[in-house]
Amino acid sequence: MTSRVRERTLERLVRVAAADLGTAELIDEAGALLAAALPHDAGCWHTTDPGSMIETGYRAHHMPPPDAAVARFAYLPDDYNSFARLAAGRPHSGVLSELTGGQLSRSVRYRELLRPNNITGELRIALLAGGDCWGNVSLFRESPRDFTPDERDFADQLSGVLGGGLRQAGVRARCAPDSETRWPGVLVLDGAGEIATMSEPARSWLAELGAREGEALPFALIALAERARTDRDAWARVRADGGRWISLHASATGDQVAFVLQEAHPGAIAPLLYAAFAFTTREREIADLVVQGCSTAAIAERLFISPLTVQTDLTSIFAKTGRRSRRQLTGLLTGAPDAGNTRNLG
């Protein structure tokens, strides 16, 4: 691939990442561009909860949906070319053959997942924005082909572009204002990953996450179950198709994994919104106090700054979020409906 082709691809990806797209649309548009710039036989994109690094959604190209085996082996933090390591340091992209010194069998993931599928080339990219990982990409080439260091370097340039796009898309939708209040749901998986027991509210939560009767569980639950089997407890925030944020808690006891599914508290979602809108540390503090109903004078006193500084920071917050008043800002941060919203978030 020539440098000019790469420049054009990068320019197009920048435009796609900045467009008003949902997560699935963003991945499809970016995936089509990557297919031309970094040809591959199969690929998989995952969104992640930046707080836990747990995969909350996927988009697979030319490969079956990920299952429990994928969740178990593909995201081991200590394996070669792991997303945890790519997210923690530069470069944010890696080629498995390079990192194993050409000895692919040193990787558990290669032995369990890639070799059985005749894959020798693996290129991974951790997608970061603001220091947080919002998703990742795996591209695969069948034997005997592999990815080059040159392609890895180009992929590293895409980390921030695509990470920023996923960050915006992932919080673009409002919490669905017409959603009915629902009790928390409880679901228990047995050692084989099958549903052992499930409460009626849990069925409703699964349906909101896109699960259909008789089909596999949403990948967020599969990934969370595998994390819980390792760490005993795991937690993630997932945005449903309708816009509502759902909190998933998993706890493992023996072979079983118990889930609690419930609407996420606004306090759990606010950090995602703050990151998406690139709030400064003080803007986050001010936004928290606005939601609590504090006046300008009270905020100034609490933060040991002048009222003028509070107003200046509020002006910046309104500009970043497209809101014009404290009421609108509070509605955005708490998920409450507000007819005065001016910025398209979904």
- Residue-wise pLDDT tens digits, 74-122: 888 899 999 999 999 999 999 999 999 999 999 999 999 999 999 999 9
Which CATH number does the domain housing residue 196 bear? Answer: 3.30.450
**pTM for the model:** 0.84
Q: Assign 175 a pLDDT band (cuts: 50, 70, 90).
A: very low
Domain assignment present for 74: yes
Which CATH number does the domain housing residue 306 bear? Answer: 1.10.10.10
Number of domains in the chain: 3
Range of the domain at 312: 279-334
pLDDT at 268: 84
pLDDT at 154: 96
Domain assignment present for 274: no
Q: Are residues 256 and 291 in the same domain?
A: no
Q: Is 246 helix (H, G, I), strand (E, B) or coil?
A: strand
Q: Are residues 316 and 231 in the same domain?
A: no
**Pick from 65-74, 114-123, 143-152, 314-323: least confident:** 65-74
* Residues linked to residue 263 through DSSP beta bridges, in sequence order: 246
Q: Cα dist. 324→287, 316, 321 in Å? A: 14, 11, 9
Domain assignment present for 67: yes
Final residue of a domain: which of 221, 241, 266?
Answer: 266
Q: Assign 173 a pLDDT band (cuts: 50, 70, 90).
A: low
Final residue of a domain: which of 266, 295, 313?
Answer: 266
Q: Cα dist. 145→125, 140, 266 in Å? A: 18, 9, 47
pLDDT at 179: 55
Q: Assign 344 a pLDDT band (cuts: 50, 70, 90).
A: very low
Average pLDDT of every residue of the chain: 89
Q: Cα dist. 178→4, 241, 271, 339, 343 in Å? A: 49, 14, 23, 13, 19
Domain assignment present for 346: no
The C-alpha atoms of residue 274 and residue 339 are separated, in whole angstroms, by: 21
The C-alpha atoms of residue 333 and residue 273 are separated, in whole angstroms, by: 7
Instruction: Tell whether the model's pLDDT for residue 338 goes beyond 60.
Output: no
